A and B are shown apart, each in its own frame.
Chain A
C-alpha cells in the first residue's frame, strides 16, 4: 500500500497484505545491505589471512622469534631481524606521546575552561586544521625546515644533558627525535579533539561543587574536571598512539632509514612502516625480501589492532563510569 493512495472498498479488504512484488524492494534493500556489511567483515578477515600467508616465507626462513628480536636487518645477506624496526616504531611513538599529549590536553583545557568565549571557536579551528596537512607535506617540511633548524639545539641539548641515557652522543640530521616531534604534531588534532569532547561533558554540578568549597580555578580543574575526563583523555592518547605507530611517509623522510637501533634519540633509526615504504621498490624481485616486508606490515597491523583495542576499552570504561555518576543509586529511604 503506497502512502497517500485512495483505495476503493473492494481493494481495502486485501489492503492489509502486500503482494510479494511490493515487498521485493524492501527485501532487496535489507539483504543487499546485510551482504554489504558482512562483506566488510569478510574482506578484512581475508586481508589478514593473506598477510599471514604472504609473509610466511620469511617466518619459515628465520623463525618468528628471530624475526621479531634479532637486531640485524640486512636484506642483502638475507638477514631479517625486525628489532630495530620495532624499536624505532616504539621510540618515535613514545616521543610523540610525551611531547604531543600534554600539549593536546592543555589546548583542550584552555579552549573549554579557560579561554574567553570569543577565542574558543577560532582556536579550535586552528588546532583542527593541523589534520588537514597531509603526511607527505609534514615530511617535506620536516626534511627541509625542521631538521636543519633543530640540529644546533639538539647538539646543545645532547652535550648539556649527556649524562641522561640515550641523550648524549653524536647528533645526526634525521633522527628519532625529529620523527617523534613531527608525529606529536600530527596526533595533536585528534588527541585534542577527543580531550575537548570529554572535558566539555564534565557536568557543571561537579565544577560548582568544587568552586563552592573555595577552590581556585586550577584547583577546580584538578578536582572536578581532570579526574572525570581522564578516561576519555587516555582513550584519545591511545588513538593518537595508533596513528603514530602507523605513520609512514612523514617518518621515512626524517628518520634516516638506518636499520639499526640508534644510540641516542638524536640518531638515525627505522620504523616498521618506513621500511615497507622504502624497500618495497627494491624488493620487487626478491621473494624473501618481499615476504619480510609483508611480515613487517603484519606486525604493524597487529600492533595497531592491540592499541586501538586498548583505546576502545578506555573510552567505553570512561563512558560507563560517567553514566553511573549521573544516576545516583536509587533512593532506598535512608
Chain B
C-alpha cells in the first residue's frame, strides 16, 4: 500500500472528492503526491502503533509494557478507572509526557512506520503531526478567535490566509457561530465553544492524528454531544484517539475501544464487542459498573 508522502510535499489542491453536501464542509486537503486515485478516502491519515510502552513519573511506574495500535481514519477510545494511565499513554504519543519534570518513557510509538522516540526525531515535528485537545479548554487568553486558530499556522508561515482559518473553524463546527466576530477574544466564548475553538486550532495545522484527552468532561451535555458529532466527522481526515471515562460516550463515537487498568492494557477490540461481550472478566466488571 503506497505511503502518501504528503508530509514533505504540501500542495494546495482542490480535492475532487470533497463533498459540498455535508452540513460540515470538509476542507480541501492536499492530495498525495504519489497520485491519489479517485475512490480513496478523503485523506489517508496515519496509523499509530504503541509497542511495549513504559512510562514513569519519577519512580512511579505508571504504564507497564503497553502495546496497542490505532487504525487510521478511525476513532479509538481509551477507557478505564482514574489512574489507569489513559492520559499518560496519550501524552506519550505526542511526547508531551516528557515535559513533566522527572517523567520519562521508553518503548516505541510508530506513526505509520516511524518511531517518534527514535533518536534524531524532532519533538517539535512530532507534535505538529500529532495534535492534541485537552480536558480543560485552553484558548490563548490574549488572542482573538482568528489568532487562536492561526497560532499553529503562524509558526511556519508568516501570512495565514483567511480561508485556512475558516476551513479549520468549519471543521470544528464553529464557523457559523463566530464568523462575525473573529476579532473578538477567544476566551469570551462559552466553555463548549472554547473547546471547539481548541479543536479548530489543532485541526488548522492539518495533523494526521488527533489526541483528545477527555475533551468533553468539563462541558455541559449539549456541548458534549456536539463534540461527539465532530469526532464522527473528523474521522475522515484524522486518526482519533479519545480518552474518556464516560462509557456511553465511548460507545457512541469509537470504532475501537481499549480498556486500561493500572497502567496495563487489559483488552482491546471493536467497541460493540467490548461493551456487550468482552473477553476479560475485568473488562466486563468495569463496563457493567462494578467498579471504577
Do A and B touch directly, given a CB cutoff of 8 Å in the complex? yes
Q: Select B138's contact among A209, A216, A334, beta carbons within 8 Å.
A: A209
Segment 38-79 of B: residues with Cβ below 8 Å from A: none
Q: Does A325 contact B (CB under 8 A)?
A: yes
Residues in chain A near residue B125, CB distance under 8 A: 214
A208-B99, A332-B190, A334-B222 known; A216 vs B141 contact (CB < 8 Å): no
Q: Does B127 contact A (CB under 8 A)?
A: yes
Name, among B94, B155, B201, B226, the residue most crowded by chain A CB atoms within 10 Å (CB to CB).
Answer: B155
Q: Does A9 contact B (CB under 8 A)?
A: no
Segment 13-34 of A: residues with Cβ below 8 Å from B: none
Binds A, one of B105-113, B161-169, B192-200: B192-200
A214-B127, A328-B191 known; A205 vs B141 contact (CB < 8 Å): no
Contact, CB under 8 Å: A206 / B127? no
Q: How far is the CB of B60 from chain A (nearest CB, A)?
A: 19
Q: Select A228's contact among B141, B190, B198, beta carbons within 8 Å.
A: B141
Determine chain A's interface SS by DSSP, over half rule. helix
Contact, CB under 8 Å: B137 / A328? yes
Contact, CB under 8 Å: A324 / B142? no
Contact, CB under 8 Å: B202 / A325? no
Contact, CB under 8 Å: A331 / B124? no
Q: Does B187 contact A (CB under 8 A)?
A: yes
Contact, CB under 8 Å: B152 / A214? yes
Segment 202-224 of A: residues with Cβ below 8 Å from B: 203, 205-206, 208-216, 219, 223-224
Residues in chain B near residue A6, CB distance under 8 A: none
Contact, CB under 8 Å: B134 / A208? yes
Q: Does A112 contact B (CB under 8 A)?
A: no
Residues in chain B near residue A230, CB distance under 8 A: 142
A205-B134, A211-B96, A212-B94 known; A331 vs B192 contact (CB < 8 Å): yes
Contact, CB under 8 Å: A213 / B140? no
Contact, CB under 8 Å: A213 / B202? yes
How far, in whole Å, are A94 and B177 apart by their CA atoms in the complex?
A: 47
Segment 138-188 of B: residues with Cβ below 8 Å from A: 138-143, 151-152, 155, 177, 187-188
A208-B96, A208-B99, A212-B94 known; A329 vs B140 contact (CB < 8 Å): no
Contact, CB under 8 Å: A213 / B134? no
Segment 230-289 of A: residues with Cβ below 8 Å from B: 230
Q: Does A152 contact B (CB under 8 A)?
A: no
Contact, CB under 8 Å: B140 / A328? no
Instruction: Mark each residue of chain A from 155 to 181: 1 if its CB lies under 8 Å from any CB of chain B, else 0.
Output: 000000000000000000000000000
Q: Does B101 contact A (CB under 8 A)?
A: yes
A213-B152, A213-B155, A223-B140 known; A329 vs B96 contact (CB < 8 Å): no
Instruction: Mark each residue of chain B from 229 to 245: 1 if its CB lies under 8 Å from any CB of chain A, else 0.
Output: 00000000000000000
Residues in chain B near residue A223, CB distance under 8 A: 140, 151
Contact, CB under 8 Å: A334 / B177? yes
Could you tell me how many residues of chain B have their Cβ less than 8 Å away from some Cβ of chain A? 43
Q: Does A117 contact B (CB under 8 A)?
A: yes
Contact, CB under 8 Å: B101 / A205? no
Contact, CB under 8 Å: B140 / A224? yes
Residues in chain B near residue A117, CB distance under 8 A: 101
Q: How far is the CB of A162 from chain B (nearest CB, A)?
A: 36
Segment 88-145 of B: residues with Cβ below 8 Å from A: 94, 96, 99, 101, 124-129, 131-132, 134, 136-143
Contact, CB under 8 Å: A213 / B190? no
Residues in chain A near residue B36, CB distance under 8 A: none
How far, in whole Å, are A81 and B134 apart by their CA atoms in the complex?
A: 63
Q: How far is the CB of A59 from chain B (nearest CB, A)?
A: 46
Q: Does B205 contact A (CB under 8 A)?
A: yes
Q: Does B12 contact A (CB under 8 A)?
A: no
Residues in chain B near residue A330, CB distance under 8 A: 190-191
Residue ID in chain B nearest A328 by CB atoms: B191
Contact, CB under 8 Å: B220 / A331? yes
Q: Does A322 contact B (CB under 8 A)?
A: yes
How far, in whole Å, are A224 and B147 apart by their CA atoms in the complex?
A: 12
Residues in chain A near residue B94, CB distance under 8 A: 212
Q: Does A44 contact B (CB under 8 A)?
A: no
A214-B127, A223-B151, A325-B187 known; A333 vs B141 contact (CB < 8 Å): no
A332-B190, A333-B223 known; A321 vs B141 contact (CB < 8 Å): yes
Q: How far is the CB of B178 from chain A (nearest CB, A)?
A: 11
Residues in chain A near residue B99, CB distance under 8 A: 208, 211
Contact, CB under 8 Å: A211 / B127? yes
Residues in chain B near residue A203, CB distance under 8 A: 138
Q: Does B24 contact A (CB under 8 A)?
A: no
Name, among B138, B139, B192, the residue most crowded by chain A CB atoms within 10 Å (CB to CB).
Answer: B138
Residue ID in chain B nearest A117 by CB atoms: B101
Q: Does A102 contact B (CB under 8 A)?
A: no
Q: How far is the CB of A34 from chain B (nearest CB, A)?
A: 40
Q: Does B247 contact A (CB under 8 A)?
A: no
Q: Does B83 contact A (CB under 8 A)?
A: no
How far, in whole Å, are A223 and B143 apart by their CA atoms in the complex?
A: 9
Q: Does B32 contact A (CB under 8 A)?
A: no
Residue ID in chain B nearest A333 by CB atoms: B222
How far, in whole Å, are A223 and B193 apart by their CA atoms in the complex?
A: 21
Pick 14 A–B contacts, CB within 8 A, sort by A: A206-B138, A209-B138, A212-B132, A213-B128, A214-B127, A215-B155, A223-B151, A224-B140, A227-B140, A328-B194, A331-B190, A331-B191, A333-B220, A333-B223
For the complex with contacts A213-B155, A331-B191, 5 further pairs of A-B residues with Cβ separation under 8 Å are A212-B96, A214-B128, A223-B151, A227-B142, A329-B189
4 closest A-B pairs by CB: A214-B128, A325-B141, A333-B222, A331-B191
